Amino acid sequence: MFNHVYCSFNIGCHQQDMHALQNFKKGVTDLSGVLSSWSSKLDCCEWKGVMCSNITSRVTGITLPCSTTLPIYKDQEDKSHCLTGSIHLSLLLVELQFLDYLDLTNNDFLSLQFDYLHNHNCHNLSIPTSHSQCVNSSTLRHLDLSYNWNLVINTIQWLPYISSLEYLNLHAIDLSKETNWLQLVTMLPSLSFLNMRDCQLKDLKLSLQYANFTKLKVLSLSANEFNSQLPKWLFNLSSGIYHLYLSSSSLKGHLPKALLNLHELKDLALDDNNFNGPIPDWLGEFGNLENLLLGENMFSGSIPTNLGNLSSLITLDVASNPLTGVVSERNLIKLSKLKELQIYSYSTLIFDFDSHWIPPFQLELLVLGFSNPNLPAWLYTQRCIESLTILGSSFEAGDKFWNLVSRVNDIQLIYNLIDGNMSNVLLNSTFIDLSSNGLTGFLPQLSPNVVFVSLLNNSLSGDMSPLLCDHKMLNVKNNLLSLDISLNNLSGGLTNCWKNWKSLVVVRLGSNNLSGKIPPSMGLLSNLTSLHLHENKLHGEIPLSLQNCHSLLVFNVRNNHLSGNIPDWISHNVMALQLRSNHFTGKISPKICQLSSLIILDIADNAISGHIPSCLDNIKTLLFNNASQHKLSFSFPSYDGYYFYSDEYLELVIKGQVLVYANNLHFMTLIDMSSNNLSGTIPPQIFNLIGLSSLNLSHNKLAGKIPNEIGNMKNLESLDFSLNQFGGEIPQSLSSLSFLGYLNLSFNNLTGKIPSGTQLQGFTTLSYMGNHDLCGPPLTKMCVQDDNHKDTKLVDEDGNQSIFLAWFYIGIESGFTTGFLGVCCAIFLNRKLRHAYFKFLYDLRDRLYVMVIINMNPFR
């Protein structure tokens, strides 16, 4: 987990150093016992993570990086075993007089404490005009606090105190409150490495002409929110900078030629910004440049041939720009050291390579996108490709192509038009994404090497046997973790060959024509985390064997013909349960309340009866806002240390419309029990679920009053109680739900006045229609509440009950009946009489209107 200790055993730990380390430990929360060796029973030079001098035995280094691995499910590392609490930095630097190296990478520290009480020269340091007053105050050369994601540092005004610093890494530390970061960092005269990536910085100091970096060689300011052009001080660096990283920082404008002042650059990363204009041809003058990243900007025009002069170039990325023109061997002919090439345009980019050209390079990573009908011939000369991506293109894929692909570790062919039949193809790569290509034929075969495969959204047909039941895969250990063949034309059953694929974590088979029952052998997938079988023709009950899938987090079988009771053995860790649009019957088992991690419960459009369980407030994740801290996504270690991500997704009915939730799914909390046969009243406990975003109980037989406790659900965005038998008044507390964007209470037996408040009056009459005794805005029907009888009565404009109006409406009803009979008689008599009668009615209408106006004037 942590690095081993390297220390001296000759003299023994200095007492001052030992006390300083013990004091540092007091501010640290160590739940997993990382610092268990830090006791007086051992010499402190033998403590974990402590390095001492071989000569003096004084402490020279502390290295306690937390080693974590990204789990398959979730997008963040589990740091429960890492150190947390506070970093007492000033204590370490003052008491450990020979401390040279401090590495606390990837822990979970929450705060950093630094005071100047031990050094009066630097007391109350704000922004000193000179750093000389703090020289030799510390011997620390290397400080790494990176990847402490929850660490917030309000100020770095203490930084000039550590004037000896050569290496400073604050990657992913929140420095949003420090506005003078650049001035403070430039006060470190020996600094050669500075990483402030993803520190939430916003000011790039455009007014500053010079930054006093005299020895800086590496500068990373990527993943910040500068929203500006490149600053002038950047072009005037006198240190001879080698590596400049400014990716993903909302930078804009044209690239200024002053960049050439940094003539020693080896790495220039400007990708994922908003730079525009042409890619400058003077970039070809960087004689030492090894990595040039310009992808994901707004560069237009053609790719300059001068980039082909960068003979030292290892990486060239110009992908995802609106580039046009022709790309040929002239752009690449001198790039003999090239290992990674990304050329893709979402505009028109034409490849015009000589079919006999053999490149001087052997690529390891290649990303292509083009408008030609054929792949460039030189692609087949590449024997070292580890990662191949082709997108937005049209080409023919025959045996020669699939033989090339079989040698590639990571293959992504997405959003292409590929003329190729998959029936006789053997897929051999570790990671395979062939989504949205129009592929035809039967399913391909998989080798045991495959870890991830997606054939999503193609035109594949036939059954699943070629892929899952290949006899060559029997008794062979395979490594498949994720299988997605959704949105195809597959038919037949789910097969019973799942015993061969016990490593599976993700199975997505939705939106096909699969039929039959869910086979019991799927219960052998004990590692299964996500199962999607939606929009097929499956029938029968869900097999009891699936209770062996203890890790199941997402279970989606919506829009099938499944029957029986809702399974009460679902994993207690399940986060999303979607059973809507089936034929499930019976009652909702109270065991559903044991699903303490649930954020989505969708059992709508079934034949479920009985009462809503009163124990729903046992679902702990719905008791708080932001129920899920992590995205519902999968991560797999991929090529060259990168991770391959696959977001979970569900189709949900929210606010009266069908919406697809993918990378934002973890923000949605939903209970949908609509279109069933539920009866009884709403248990008030359901309104303790204050983290709920959407609640839909419509199209049932629920009765009683809407409880006043509904006002507790402050995060509710969508509420639908329509087509039930609710009575009584709408509770006033409903108007306090300030996030409510959709409300449907229509077709119930609600009475009285709609509670006042802009929230409820902001909805249209469609939200309240079908409640005959409901009145008040936004309805046109006016009303007043009688305190003694609780009856709604007609009123005049001063709010007084009108005797004239009551008799007037009685007369209107009698007149309507008489007139209606008269019309019927007129219809059966001659045409002239019919016309005369209608003229009489029109005259009568006008006279009545005048009479009403005259009689109503006294009430105004």
Q: What is the DSSP letter of 658?
A: E
- Residue 857: the pLDDT is 39
- Residue 716: the pLDDT is 93
- Residue 783: the pLDDT is 82
Distances (CA, A) of 112 to 167, 173, 524: 18, 11, 49
- Residue 152: the pLDDT is 93
What CATH number is given for 553-629+643-793 in this structure?
3.80.10.10
Nearest one of 187, 95, 196 to 144, comparing CA atoms:
196
Dihedrals φ, ψ of 327, to 5°? -115, 130
- Distance between CA 281 and CA 291 in Å, rounded? 16
Nearest one of 841, 839, 833 to 816, comparing CA atoms:
841
Three-class DSSP category at 445: strand
CB neighbours (10 Å) of residue 41? Answer: 7
Q: What is the pLDDT of residues 757-768, one digit of tens each?
A: 778 888 999 999
- Residue 789: the pLDDT is 43
- Distance between CA 286 and CA 6 in Å, rounded? 42
Q: Which residues of the chain have pLDDT under 50?
A: 1-9, 117-136, 787-814, 816-817, 823, 826-829, 831-835, 838-839, 841-842, 845-860
Instruction: Enter the tokens of residue 834.
Output: 């019919």
What is the Cα gyration radius of the chain?
Answer: 36
- Distance between CA 370 and CA 326 in Å, rounded? 10
- Distance between CA 188 and CA 168 in Å, rounded? 10
Dihedrals φ, ψ of 750, to 5°? -70, 145
- Distance between CA 411 and CA 400 in Å, rounded? 15
Contact 601, 691 (CB under 8 A): no
Q: What is the pLDDT of residues 649-662, one digit of tens each?
A: 899 999 888 989 88
Helix (H) or strand (E) holding 705: strand 701-705
- Distance between CA 5 and CA 654 in Å, rounded? 56
CB neighbours (10 Å) of residue 604? Answer: 23
- Strand-pair category, 530-532 with 554-556: parallel
- Strand-pair category, 267-269 with 243-245: parallel
Instruction: Enter the tokens of residue 343.
Output: 């050329």
Three-class DSSP category at 570: coil
Three-class DSSP category at 686: helix
- Distance between CA 151 and CA 114 in Å, rounded? 14
Three-class DSSP category at 196: coil
Query: Where do the domains of the chain lie?
Result: 553-629+643-793, 817-859
Q: What is the DSSP letter of 387?
A: E
- Residue 756: the pLDDT is 85
Q: What is the DSSP letter of 412?
A: E
- Distance between CA 436 and CA 102 in Å, rounded? 49
pTM: 0.82
Dihedrals φ, ψ of 263, to 5°? -70, -10
- Residue 402: the pLDDT is 94
Q: What is the DSSP letter of 759?
A: H
- Distance between CA 315 and CA 285 in Å, rounded? 16
- Distance between CA 179 and CA 205 in Å, rounded? 10
Instruction: Enter the tokens of residue 121.
Output: 């020269």
Three-class DSSP category at 854: helix
- Residue 667: the pLDDT is 82
**Residues with Cβ within 8 Å of residue 859, at least 6 apart in sequence:** 796, 797, 798, 800, 802, 804
Q: What is the pLDDT of residues 74-116, one digit of tens each?
A: 656 778 899 999 998 988 888 899 999 999 999 999 999 887 5
Nearest one of 745, 666, 663, 752 to 710, comparing CA atoms:
745
- As a 3-state breakdown, the chain gives helix, strand, coil percent values, each rounded to 5, of 20, 25, 55
Q: Is the dihedral of CA 457, 458, 461, 465 positive or negative?
A: negative
- Residue 624: the pLDDT is 79
Instruction: Enter the tokens of residue 519.
Output: 């086979």
